[in-house]
Chain A
Amino acid sequence: SQTIHQWPATLVQPVGSPLSLECTVEGTSNPNLYWYRQAAGRGLQLLFYSVGIGQISSEVPQNLSASRPQDRQFILSSKKLLLSDSGFYLCAWSDYTGSGEQYFGPGTRLTVT
């Protein structure tokens, strides 16, 4: 069966510090991968998606970036965090058929102070 991992679960970082969030998927090959941000009690904002190694598409211009160094690894990064980067970050995968069904990780709660 497929499993998706995210870490860390929670993170408190000062403004201006760097960020690296990691997501890995097990039990599937060539998945589509996604990074979302969710404000408190709200819907999901798609940040980045990837259909393959090294292929990243950005949905929202910002100071965040994403990379996919391996087939089942997706990384969200920032060189300098802003207060507005606080939120709940979710990684998700879907199969390559494009069915739309997405499977989410447990999320990372990021607080920028």
Chain B
Amino acid sequence: TQLLEQSPQFLSIQEGENLTVYCNSSSVFSSLQWYRQEPGEGPVLLVTVVTGGEVKKLKRLTFQFGDARKDSSLHITAAQPGDTGLYLCAGGWWGQNFVFGPGTRLSVLP
């Protein structure tokens, strides 16, 4: 069974700070996704990474897939209150069900 771990579980920071959250597994994935979920809403897909070592940027968010395709990180520069939410990673193999991690709950205080 593939398991995904995410750290930290909770993170509370001040507006303007930088942060990094992690998604780790002992399994190799064909691709990995990051989602953000706001309270009372469904998760929204942010990015998919498929190549080991791949780096993708989405405005102030930088996503990296580990060289061995077992882990990923999400770095946010100059966090804003609008970045508050639950960040979920999901990994798997093409054609199979993807597994979700437990999430990192981020709170950015103004």
Contact = CB atoms under 8 A, between A and B. Distances in A.
How many chain B residues sit at the interface, stated as a range, is 20 to 34
B102 A42 contact: yes
A27 interface: no
Contacts of B88: 43-44
Contacts of A100: 30-31, 33, 48, 90-92, 94, 98
Contacts of A102: 33, 43, 45, 90, 98
Q: Which of A90, A100, A107 has the most chain B CB atoms closer than 10 A to its own CB? A: A100
B100 A101 contact: no
A99 B31 contact: yes
Interface string A88-112: 0010100001111111111101000
A90 B41 CA distance: 9
Overall SS of chain A's interface: loop
Given A42-B102, A100-B98, A107 B31 contact: no
B40 to A, nearest CB: 7
A25 to B, nearest CB: 13
Contacts of B100: 43-44, 46
Interface of B: 30-31, 33, 35, 40-45, 48, 86, 88, 90-92, 94-98, 100-103, 105
16 contacts: A42-B103, A43-B100, A43-B103, A49-B97, A90-B42, A92-B42, A99-B48, A99-B94, A100-B33, A100-B94, A100-B98, A102-B43, A102-B98, A104-B35, A104-B42, A107-B42
